[in-house]
Structure 1
């Protein structure tokens, strides 16, 4: 559902004054200002005021705000759920409590001016398709429009988004004539990573040079676009399965940034067959060893797993199990399991030791895995074709054209 003129429904909790609009200035009092009685589009306070109004309405209707996400509202009765997800003026309503869902839709239409958009198929550039196998989430139209906008729709496809042998440098290459175009292009690619974890790492790398991009940086972006051209129909497939436990992989590319010598953290979590959360991020400080870099990566993954378990509980799903996090560094696993501080760890910031508590409490299990099976590698470095495609499949990514689109 979509709310018409959503921001006009909000109420101001502060005194807001605006200048007299052009063409409507008073000839008698040209220096006077107007005091707003209600919010307007363009005000910084408008989104918050609207959230307060829609949140108040849903809470009065019996919904509860999920502690893990303030935009998620859940109502449960006798094991059945009604769920409302609010994104500004767009609402997704779902669940198996059909009577409450219908009641909520009717009440929303009475209280606000609503537009019924039917079954969820498109949402903020994301495309949702139901198949016999499950749910397919992609951004095919967005990717095609992106390629067309920057003249890459007819480019030659390539099998990987980044050359594993290329290391970008801050001061190498000629300056770009149009830096704005580079920034807009990279910003568009960031949004594409919502359903494309396979390009998350290369996009993360090119964002580091947005302040002063060079010609090699633009070449790296164009390579990503060539890869997107060849995989334009790819997305994440969430297959129907009985096993719906959260499971994760974490990895770190030690001193992978050739400019700052900082390491790159990468982790991803899956629920069933497809990835639901992933991250690649350059670490804030230089790690003194690969063990420390991997330890920091595991700590970040532990924080994400805690939030995911809370989210599952908010959705009334069972989360009474140890979240398994696979790591390919045995030293960092031993460091996690050892509660004693010593010379190797005393310089590491306190918040990275968060994972130790979770392991001791039995909420997280660190599991060793082979380097060849470390799926999170795709989020920390450029890979060769065979390994890249193997990990791409492990993320739950599939091609839209290979799926049976007919519903049972």
Structure 2
């Protein structure tokens, strides 16, 4: 059986407001918002509220919960040590998360265990350009970049800029782009024990944003970046190409700032 508009049957326990849809804004009341009285698709609460509603209705109709197969079989594994390739180290003042084991694994996977070391993840002089020649193995490039993306999003915001740049050339990668990936591998090997350290203070959420100078002559694009800090280190961060074209470096800074404010409000 299928329930029509399933999640719309759930009752909300919290106060949730939404912007009015385009075409439903009345003149003079543009500042007003809609208060939801029922659950809605897209809400984080929707699956839980629907499950609770369904459970109440079924039990009130005389059905009984099967007690012989009610719970999952579980056991206490103790404190977490490694989760999805992320090492959790507990110290007196907090915790440190790093991916030394995972980095060793991907270095071996791409035959870079014995590569030389570099002090930065990218060459500040070299400019990555679009490939107009014969592309290299796209699948191999995508696999390597995907591994770097996982390291970056989990524990290494310091490679976010370079990984974001490399991701732009996934469709037609060149040897130049592959060499840039190898350089990131070399950097990770030399900083294999780097990670994020959380000590619990300061307990205030801090957000920072920045934008680069126009560094791609072909499309006059710039790169925005922002980071949120809590408990002593980064909890959310990104580095990506701005989608709009503006003739002022100052305006690019405002675009980056607007992005970080929007993320905070979300």
TM-score, length-scaled by structure 2: 0.72
Distance 1:164 1:192, change over 3 A: same
| 1:249 equivalent in structure 2 | 208
Report deviation, 1:216.
0.4
Quick check: 1:283 aligned with 2:242? yes
| 1:165 equivalent in structure 2 | 125
| 1:222 equivalent in structure 2 | 182
- The answer to whether the Cα contact below 8 Å between 2:131 and 2:173 also exists between their aligned partners in 1 is no
- Count of residue correspondences: 212
| 1:128 equivalent in structure 2 | 88
- The answer to whether the Cα contact below 8 Å between 1:161 and 1:227 also exists between their aligned partners in 2 is yes
Report deviation, 1:160.
0.2
Match of 2:218 among 259, 279, 289: 259
Distance 1:297 1:223, change over 3 A: same
- The answer to whether the Cα contact below 8 Å between 1:252 and 1:266 also exists between their aligned partners in 2 is yes
Match of 1:234 among 176, 185, 194: 194
Secondary structure at the counterpart of residue 130 of structure 1: strand
Distance 1:266 1:69, change over 3 A: farther
Distance 1:238 1:169, change over 3 A: same
| 1:271 equivalent in structure 2 | 230
Report deviation, 1:254.
3.0
Q: Which has the higher strand share?
A: 1
Report deviation, 1:120.
1.7
Quick check: 1:155 aligned with 2:155? no
Q: Kindly provide the CA deviation profile for residues 280-312 of structure 1, in whole angstroms up to 9, marking residues without a partner as x.
A: 1111121221121111100000012223xxxxx
Report deviation, 1:117.
3.0
| 2:168 equivalent in structure 1 | 208
Q: What pairs up with 1:314-325 in 2 under 5 angstroms?
A: none
Q: Aligned partners of 1:172 and 1:254: how far apart in 2?
A: 25
| 1:296 equivalent in structure 2 | 255
Report deviation, 1:128.
1.3
| 2:72 equivalent in structure 1 | 112
Q: Kindly provide the CA deviation profile for residues 187-211 of structure 1, in whole angstroms up to 9, marking residues without a partner as x.
A: 1110001200001110111000000
Report deviation, 1:13.
4.1
Distance 1:293 1:174, change over 3 A: same
Unpaired segments ≥5 residues, structure 1: 1-11, 15-51, 60-67, 74-106, 308-408
Q: Using CA pairs under 8 Å that are at least 6 residues apart, name the structure with larger relative contact order, 1 or 2.
A: 1
Q: Aligned partners of 1:187 and 1:240: how far apart in 2?
A: 31
| 1:70 equivalent in structure 2 | 44
Q: Aligned partners of 1:174 and 1:296: how far apart in 2?
A: 36
Q: What pairs up with 1:47-62 in 2 under 5 angstroms?
A: none
Q: Aligned partners of 1:234 and 1:305: how far apart in 2?
A: 27
Distance 1:70 1:126, change over 3 A: farther
TM-score, length-scaled by structure 1: 0.48
CA RMSD of superposed structures (Å): 2.9
- The answer to whether the Cα contact below 8 Å between 1:140 and 1:233 also exists between their aligned partners in 2 is yes
